[in-house]
Chains A and B, each alone.
Chain A
Amino acid sequence: MVDFWFFIEVLVGGLLSGAMYSLVALGFVLIYKASSVFNFAQGAMVFFAVLSFVGFMELGLPFWAALPVAVGLMILVGMATERFVLRPLVSQSEDTLLMATIGLAFVIEGVAQIVWGVDVRRLDLGIRDEPIGWLADSAGVLVSQLDITAGVVAGIMVAALALLFSRTKVGRGLRAVADDHTAALSIGIPLKHIWMLVWATAGVVALVAGMLWGARSGVQFALVWVALKALPVLIIGGFTSVPGVIVAGLIVGASEKIAEVYIGPYFGGGIEGWAPYMLAVLFLLIRPEGLFGEKIIRRV
């Protein structure tokens, strides 16, 4: 019975950390859905966002003042990206845009370190990263409060974004732009506004993800690599599906932890780094468009 509860504990821990991955992956999906850009800089944006947030607090701003300032900053960053990187590269191939966002990631990471320095900072959200007492006592399952919060936040954001995409006029515009931006432009959808909006939203999503990750592991450069955790999530969920991201995040989180605990010891551990990628690759071989992705039919 102990084994069973231990398994549940690993599973729940994995599922909840998967929710954190989903949160990061959400920013990717948002941008990909609206502009077919695979934004490699999302991780850098997460890092920059939360670092700025902590930076503002260090400058003396209280929590509730630093938050809107950081949000404003991320909106600016998003708009600047659209203006100076994306717009000149419009209608280039996806690969070119991917490479541009790798360049963008370098810029954002560099700027963040120049402005805020390279020290590791603590971020206290008032949510303790400790197991919840009554759950640990009654069932013996250790679940962190922070993880639960992350899960709830991820769920809310996914729901909000899914509603935005499917129910609002802006959302329809977004999907139209993603489908064919020339056609969208010709029927009067304000392309530039839509893109700016998307990048700004992605910036805000990055801030939220960064705050939760920062509270867990400290605000440091390693947050950049969080984005790499989100890539397998993205692949499995399909690049264009908001709900897919949450499902895939749970799958990746759970399988990663289970693999680490049950398979890892045979290889000496540390397989968390690549196990999700292997899973993603295997997944792609069976279903190349991902779990919820759109099937792309190519004609000659």
Chain B
Amino acid sequence: MFYREAGQFRTSYAADSQLLPLRQDRVGMAIILLLAVAVVPFVANDYWLSAILIPWLILALVATGQNILMGYAGQLSLGSAGFMAVGAFACYNLILRIDGIPFLLALFLSGICAALVGIVFGLPSLRIRGLYLAVATLASQFFIVWALDKFGWFKNYDPAGVITAQPIIMFGHNFASPREKYWVVLLIVAALTLAAKNMARGSTGRAWMAVRDMDVAAEVMGLSLLRTKLQAFAISSFYCGVGGALFAFAYLQTVEPSAFTIDLSFRILFMVIIGGLGTILGSFLGAGFILLMPVFLNVFFHKAFGKAVDATITSALEQVIFGVLIIVFLIFEPLGFARLWQLTKERLRLWPFRH
């Protein structure tokens, strides 16, 4: 009833291939964007902006990157946090060493740096696949964090081994408050999400999916595996790199290489699984869920048991719940939240009737 597409005809190629063919989706997206730009930053307080919304958007961007590689191109990777680290430290060094470089350019270049590193570590994917590749990507994770930790140059020889992100200065204005940072992050994430959506539905995305479903067959049909796989690695790492740079500049401010552990990689992996493999929407839902889950549990435990429960117990319990959720999702809804949303839409189309 609410979600009827009857009567909406696509009468031209342009109409057929547009991003959101349904009027409801277009209106809905416009409302969401409007809310995100003009209402949310004024309603939410600084805590919500800087501790929930900014990391959510950033992690959703990283999850989108991981999803491109894993959900679309079918290359299992356990090293996404490593590429985030590359982005974060590249951005820091670019701003530090190149006088007057615009922030957006530095951000873009740090994404490129991550992409280049991604291509190098994606090379084994040409020879190996599946589980072997997953283990090989761990090499990138360990190597990158080690290298950033060991070579002082990356950290400008900071004695404490941390970097402090420079202020975000664009167009002569310092985006310092949580609200301004939120806008910056929102702008970048929205733009890159749109790009990802477009890549995914176009020939690029189809090539990825062909490789995912059966790479030998894709090659027989004339797709260049070399090009497609490395492209997926590069673009995925680009997203992770930009996400990592934003993570450092808009969220953490002070970063050490060991912030980008394998644990973070796993969390990003979980976001993609729980949100939905091979959907852009899923990256956002999954990131929101994985981020909010601990916050919610903390509040819940606090309400339920007060201070009686040790913090180590709650964090261990949180770990258990994460693990159980992963298994439950893999068993019952391998396509994640995105699939649940799709089912809801199908229900809404017929509501209040069942058939």
Contact = CB atoms under 8 A, between A and B. Distances in A.
Interface of A: 38, 84-85, 88-89, 92, 94-96, 98-100, 102-111, 113-114, 117-118, 228, 231-232, 234-235, 239, 267-268, 270-271, 273-274, 277-278, 280-281, 284-285, 288, 298-300
User: Looking at B123, B124, B139, which has the most chain A CB atoms within 10 Å of its CB?
Assistant: B139
A94 B150 contact: no
Contacts of B320: 106-107, 110-111, 114
B323 interface: yes
A100 B330 contact: yes
Q: Which 10 A-B pairs have CB atoms at the shortest separation, nearest pair first?
A: A103-B326, A106-B323, A277-B139, A107-B323, A110-B320, A110-B319, A113-B316, A274-B142, A103-B323, A274-B143
Given A113-B316, A280-B139, A300-B214, A239 B131 contact: yes
A81 B180 CA distance: 48
Interface size for chain B: under 10, 10 to 19, 20 to 34, or 35 or more residues? 35 or more
Given A110-B316, A270-B150, A298-B216, A99 B138 contact: no
B160 interface: no
Interface of B: 74, 76, 123-124, 127-128, 130-132, 134-136, 138-139, 142-143, 146, 149-151, 214, 216-217, 220, 262, 266, 269-270, 273, 312-313, 316-327, 330-331, 334
Contacts of A288: 127-128, 132
Nearest to B216: A300
A273 to B, nearest CB: 5
A98 B326 CA distance: 11
User: Looking at B134, B322, B326, B327, which has the most chain A CB atoms within 10 Å of its CB?
Assistant: B327
A189 B331 CA distance: 25
Contacts, number: 133
Given A231-B138, A271-B146, A284-B128, 9 more contacts: A89-B331, A103-B325, A107-B319, A231-B135, A234-B135, A235-B135, A267-B150, A277-B135, A277-B136
A262 B322 CA distance: 42
B319 A109 contact: yes
Contacts of B220: 300
Given A106-B323, A278-B143, A113 B312 contact: yes
B16 to A, nearest CB: 32
Contacts of B130: 94-95
Contacts of A110: 316-323
Interface of B is mostly: helix
User: Looking at A85, A99, A268, which has the most chain B CB atoms within 10 Å of its CB?
Assistant: A99
Contacts of B136: 235, 277, 280-281, 284
A232 B135 CA distance: 8
B321 to A, nearest CB: 8
A92 to B, nearest CB: 8
14 contacts: A89-B331, A98-B131, A98-B134, A103-B324, A107-B319, A107-B323, A107-B327, A109-B316, A110-B319, A110-B320, A113-B312, A113-B313, A274-B142, A280-B139
B319 A274 contact: no
B45 to A, nearest CB: 32
A114 B139 contact: no
Nearest to B130: A94
Nearest to A285: B127
A114 B312 CA distance: 8
A281 B139 contact: yes
A72 B124 CA distance: 41
A277 B150 contact: no
Given A96-B334, A300-B214, A300-B217, A103 B128 contact: no
Given A228-B138, A277-B136, A102 B326 contact: yes
